[in-house]
Structure 1
Amino acid sequence: MITPAARIRHVGVAILTVTALAACAPGPLKAASAAGQTPASLAAPTTNAPVPAAGTCKLGSHNGQDLPDPHCTPGTINGQVTQATIGDTICKSGWTKTIRPPTSVTGKLKTQIDTAYGLPTSTTGELDHLVSLELGGAPSDPANLWVEPGKIPNPKDAVENKLHSAVCSGLVPLATAQKAIASNWTTAFDDAGLRVASGKVCLRDTPSRCVGSHRGDEDGN
């Protein structure tokens, strides 16, 4: 027979055991901010981040191509776009035009982000969504915007279009493409497990699974 005192001792041990296990359990993954790192999943902002202060951001480069500062432009996503909704959003022709910010907004943002990156406001280049709208990027969040210097269209546009094709054809999940382009757009194909051959984008581990690339609704941005 278990006495009342024994029951109290037993319950006390159980509570201590559960508490100890909870203390050892891993916490939620935190967003990484160091260069070359991305969080387990990109953030969908409830409010837009502030534009960084003047001169606090710096362009990087890889393979001769410009990269945004990961501290200023880590990439954020549009909460409307999920794996379950791609058929009604990014994979639906013309959808990105419905969310593209007007020039009255993008013109002001370009000037502010030029200044944040220490660039002349006359810099020729594209106000670029790091995670493009056709991959479910946040439309007007400064944390997803940078000024990509150079001609328009640019090499990143072709990467965005091919990743869009890979997502909409089911070659790779949406989140895989988003994280790959946010981490480093110049290595996004490798990071997403893809390769490009004869103008098609294919799974690296299953080269026979390919899809032709097409130009996105939003001209790659």
Structure 2
Amino acid sequence: MPTAGRVGHDRGMTVIRMRARRLAPLPVALLAVLAAGCGAQHPGDGAGAGGASRSAVATPSRPADFACPGESPTPTPRPSTHTPSPTAPPTDHYAENHGFMVPFPLHGKRRCQGLAAIGRVREALEPLRRRGDFTAESARKALTGLGYPAGQVQTYQNGSAGVGFLVEVDDYPVCLEGEMDSAQTKADAFGGYPDHTGCDQPSGGH
């Protein structure tokens, strides 16, 4: 039969064990709090490895646009020539698969170069338009007369009273595409196409 001292001792051990069980998780919880605190990002923590990592993946900015000669001080951005179909289902990947057919816009000095080329081409073709000469050969002669190599000038018949043209202004490339008819001569300058050399629109798809 256990003595009173032994019973008191056993009860004391039981209390100690229960306290130990309650206190044992505390160091683990404390470590979790400390670990969370170490990983927290505080305002102003821009230095160190995190800042270097962010700067390493930064993409280069495009050349700044500015007013070109003969243009208003605030140039109007050229709208995108590609607009997604409003009736296309969410799973339609047409835009994704045909992005290589969307031309690059020109910026900075190249944009001014393109606008200047548009002015020269319109001036060269205007006499043909006024007299109703809408043959591809006449348009080609007028464009090569501006100094563009024959291999960089394409003209084609666009109906009985219209001519289309495509000119590689330089090998950047700066490209010029447009058409002339009895009403007007219009042209657009762009910077070629993705993964493609020259100014003609690539064909094919994914």
- TM category (shorter chain) comes to under 0.3
Name whichever structure is richer in helix by fraction.
2
* TM-score using structure 2 length: 0.26
* Structure of greater relative contact order (alpha carbons < 8 Å, 6+ residues apart): 1
- The structure whose Rg is larger is 2
* TM-score using structure 1 length: 0.25
